[in-house]
């Protein structure tokens, strides 16, 4: 491991808005902040927004700058990546930003029912191989996890350069009759794009520089909807 990563890990430990729990028993683990993020971390009752797979945290920090009346939590397993957003938000003394280092598979151990108002999923691994379908962050398995922590009919946003993942998630929403609020197969060609959607992560900029098209989907996720995987055959 490089010295750069080690120094970032060490500095993360000094940031009051970075939480890095040690989990030995994933099946029975429940974090002490579950149900208490607003009271114990943010000191208000503002809506909580999650960015799952936040990477360097550009979207978490960018949204927090735009919406000081909301609280934003970036979630990622890579501590060296989280450090970038944590460092920026600390330097700016932002009180509505936090970062959680954990696996998204156990996200329900950290958030109580209805504790989260909205979810952003930005440029995740599309997991194109069929044997890894359950690892897609918009699969029925993951959406069911989000249902437990998301307010009823809360929003899920997907921003991706993967045409495969975009079409798969559109199919997932259509198959389960989830209300699609907005979608685009070519986001930056849309006349309705706003500042919120123009935030660019490090990885997004790499995709754009490679000539890739950016896709976007926003849909509602009801709490009581039983979700099923769609029959999906990818057509490039």
- Residue 82 has what pLDDT? 95
Q: Is residue 131 part of a domain?
A: yes
Q: Is residue 25 part of a domain?
A: no
The domain spanning residue 168 has which CATH number? 3.40.50.150
- Residue 2 has what pLDDT? 54
Q: Is residue 196 part of a domain?
A: yes
CA atoms within 13 A on the CB side of 24: 0
- Residue 218 has what pLDDT? 98
| Nearest by Cα to 173 from 207, 220, 226, 233 | 220
- Residue 3 has what pLDDT? 57
- Residue 53 has what pLDDT? 95
Of 76, 125, 186, 209, which one is the catalytic site residue?
Answer: 125
Q: Is residue 5 part of a domain?
A: no
Q: Is residue 192 part of a domain?
A: yes
* Confidence bin at 6 (pLDDT 50/70/90): confident
Domain tally, the chain: 1
pLDDT tens by residue, 80-98? 999 999 999 999 999 999 9
Instruction: Look up the domain containing 118 and give its range.
Output: 48-221
Per DSSP, the residues of 83-129 read HHHHHHHHHTT-SSEEEEES-GGGGGGT--TT-EEEEEEES-----S
Q: Is residue 168 part of a domain?
A: yes
pLDDT tens by residue, 17-69? 999 998 877 788 999 999 999 999 999 999 999 999 999 999 999 999 999 99
- Residue 165 has what pLDDT? 97
Q: Is 125 a catalytic residue?
A: yes
Average pLDDT for 153-169: 97
Q: Is residue 21 part of a domain?
A: no
- Kindly list the distances between the CA atom of residue 9 and the CA atoms of 3, 33, 164, in Å, as whole numbers in the listed order: 10, 21, 34
Percent of residues, the chain, with pLDDT higher than 90: 87
Q: Is residue 229 part of a domain?
A: no
């Amino acid at each position: 491991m490089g010295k750069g990563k080690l120094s970032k890990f060490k500095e993360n430990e000094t940031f009051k808005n970075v939480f890095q729990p040690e989990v030995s028993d994933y099946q029975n683990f429940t974090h002490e902040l579950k149900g208490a993020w607003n009271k114990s971390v943010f000191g208000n009752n503002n809506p909580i927004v999650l960015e799952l797979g936040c990477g360097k945290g550009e979207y978490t920090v960018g949204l927090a700058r735009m919406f000081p009346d909301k609280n934003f939590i970036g979630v990622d397993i890579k501590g060296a990546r989280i450090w970038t957003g944590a460092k920026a938000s600390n330097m700016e003394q932002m009180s509505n930003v936090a970062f959680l280092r954990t696996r998204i598979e156990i996200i329900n151990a950290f958030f109580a029912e209805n504790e989260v108002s909205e979810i952003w999923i930005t440029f995740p691994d599309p997991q194109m191989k069929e044997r890894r379908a359950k690892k897609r962050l918009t699969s029925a398995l993951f959406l069911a996890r989000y249902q437990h922590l998301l307010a009823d009919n809360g929003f899920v946003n997907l921003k991706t350069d993967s045409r495969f993942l975009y079409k798969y998630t559109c199919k997932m929403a259509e198959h389960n009759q989830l209300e699609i609020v907005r979608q685009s197969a070519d986001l930056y060609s849309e006349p309705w794009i706003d500042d919120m959607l123009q935030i660019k992560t490090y990885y997004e900029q790499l995709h754009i520089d490679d000539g890739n098209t950016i896709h976007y989907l926003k849909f509602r996720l009801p709490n009581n909807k039983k979700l099923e995987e769609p029959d999906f055959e990818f057509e490039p």
